[in-house]
């Protein structure tokens, strides 16, 4: 990040150069567009380029803050610096640039308050809900609370650290530091535990000039060999122990306990009410036989009811003849066949005359409608009108594109908090 700042020193706006004076820029963050963030050892400068809604401007934020808090949104975030009785100031910046801006700002605030040395830099900053861990070159700073940092913090210098351990858990990983004969611990989420471990080990081993944690422990043991007693552990609480998921079986079972599978009576195959499996089979066969007989008798009764009754005999016992009905049916069928043959014959003169009349009337209606074929002059006029309309549409499209560009620029400036 410093290299990038040095390359851009010559391209700083004049208003920024005049605001910096003789101070050196130690960090630079691009906030999108032409907006910039410049961090010096004593303050932070927020540069806003000229836009549709605002003029070119520079805001200054002193690092002499007593409290630092962060409000993070979906698009825009705010870093608030509290100065006690002097009020507070807020730095507004895009959320995508928040992590890049927080580290140099926190480093400047910690140096101004004497927490870090002037030549000491922040290796990495971790934010976990209400826990902030700052891993620096010579120490680790821990703050617990809703804010990012305030005067209620704890700092552990690497010269006092004798051991570093990590205790894995189902959700969190406990970081245990043995500092001055006491064990200090704090928890980090498992997904960030690897990054925290790498940052702590690299900075601690580099400061103590050892290659491994085992060498650090050996050096700590030799340093603390003259101290009586074992290290005292100071724990802030890892939470209650988890309940056993599989407790031991009690020696005596209570009377109302559920019966175990081994305590079932041996006569599992017997049927309820004292009956055997063979008896149940015989009863089922008898029941099915009775049902079949009932179904057959019901079917036979329905068939007798559906059979039509024949003609009743007359006094002599001989049924009436059906000759009259049969002759009437034969006559109707002959008439229908005769009508069909007549319909299949050629159309008569009346039909032909009606068809010719219909054709003539349709032709006469089209001729009298007033429609005429398009003339070449009319075609040329239509083409000219279409060309004029095309020119107007193209001009409107050009204006719409220009308006769209302006709207996009306005939206971008609003997102940057102008």
Token digits of residue 253: 């079972």
> For residues 224 and 218, what is the distance between their CA atoms, to the nearest angstrom?
10
Query: Which tens digits make up the pLDDT trace of 341-393?
Result: 444 444 444 444 444 444 444 455 545 555 555 566 778 888 888 999 999 99
Least-confidence region, from 91-100, 152-161, 264-273: 264-273
Amino acid 345: pLDDT: 44
Residue 104 has pLDDT above 90, yes or no: yes
Strand partners, 57: 48
- Inter-residue contact 190 to 182 (CB < 8 Å): no
pTM value is 0.56
| Cα dihedral 262, 263, 267, 271 sign | negative
Inter-helix orientation angle 213-223/190-208, to 10°: 60
Query: Which tens digits make up the pLDDT trace of 150-169?
Result: 999 999 999 999 999 999 99
Query: Could you report how far apart the first and last alpha carbons of the chain are, in Å?
Result: 26
For 176-194, give the DSSP string.
EEEETTEEEEEEEEHHHHH
- Name every residue whose Cβ is closer than 8 Å to that of residue 95 and which is 6 or more positions away in sequence: 72, 73, 74, 75, 76, 77
Strand partners, 140: 135, 156
> For residues 230 and 182, what is the distance between their CA atoms, to the nearest angstrom?
9
Q: Which domains does the chain have, with CATH numbers?
A: 115-237 (2.30.29.30)
Query: Which tens digits make up the pLDDT trace of 310-341?
Result: 444 443 444 444 444 444 444 444 444 444 44
Phi-psi region of 184 (alpha: psi -120 to 50; beta: other; left: phi over 0): beta
Who wins on pLDDT, 173 or 365? 173
DSSP H helical segments within 273-322, as ranges?
277-306
> For residues 141 and 236, what is the distance between their CA atoms, to the nearest angstrom?
16
- Inter-residue contact 217 to 162 (CB < 8 Å): yes
Average pLDDT, the chain: 74
């Amino acid at each position: 990040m410093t290299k990038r700042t040095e390359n851009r020193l010559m391209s700083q706006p004049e208003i920024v150069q005049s605001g910096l004076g003789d101070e050196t820029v130690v960090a630079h963050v691009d906030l999108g567009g032409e907006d910039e963030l410049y961090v010096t050892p004593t303050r932070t400068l927020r540069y806003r380029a000229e836009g549709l809604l605002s003029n070119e401007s520079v805001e200054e934020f002193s690092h002499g803050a007593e409290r630092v808090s962060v409000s993070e949104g979906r698009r825009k975030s705010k870093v608030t610096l509290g100065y006690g009785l002097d009020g507070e100031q807020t730095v507004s910046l895009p959320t995508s640039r928040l992590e890049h801006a927080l580290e140099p700002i926190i480093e400047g605030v910690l140096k101004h308050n004497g927490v870090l040395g002037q030549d000491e830099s922040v290796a990495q900053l971790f934010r976990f809900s209400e826990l902030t861990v700052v891993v620096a070159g010579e120490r680790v700073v821990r703050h617990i609370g809703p804010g990012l940092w305030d005067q209620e913090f704890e700092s552990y210098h690497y010269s006092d650290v004798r051991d570093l351990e990590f205790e894995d858990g189902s959700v969190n990983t406990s970081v245990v530091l043995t500092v001055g004969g006491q064990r200090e611990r704090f928890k980090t989420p498992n997904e960030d535990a690897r990054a925290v471990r790498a940052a702590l080990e690299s900075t601690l081993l580099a400061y103590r000039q050892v290659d491994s944690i085992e060498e650090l422990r050996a050096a700590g043991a030799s340093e603390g060999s003259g101290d009586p007693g074992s290290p005292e552990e100071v724990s802030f609480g890892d939470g209650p122990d988890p309940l056993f998921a599989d407790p031991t079986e009690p020696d005596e079972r209570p009377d109302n306990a559920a019966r175990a599978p081994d305590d079932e009576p041996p006569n599992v195959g017997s049927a309820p009410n004292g009956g055997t499996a063979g008896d149940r089979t015989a009863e089922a066969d008898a029941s099915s036989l009775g049902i079949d007989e009932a179904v057959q008798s019901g079917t036979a009764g329905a068939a007798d009811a559906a059979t039509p009754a024949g003609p009743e005999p007359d006094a002599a016992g001989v049924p009436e003849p059906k000759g009259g009905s049969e002759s009437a049916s034969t006559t109707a069928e002959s008439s229908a066949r005769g009508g069909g043959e007549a319909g299949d014959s050629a159309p008569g003169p009346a039909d032909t005359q009606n068809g010719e009349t219909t054709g003539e009337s349709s032709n006469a209606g089209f001729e009298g409608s007033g429609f005429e074929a398009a003339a070449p002059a009319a075609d040329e006029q239509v083409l000219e009108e279409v060309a004029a309309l095309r020119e107007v549409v193209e001009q409107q499209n050009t204006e719409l594109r220009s308006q769209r560009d302006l709207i996009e620029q306005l939206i971008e400036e609003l997102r940057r908090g102008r």
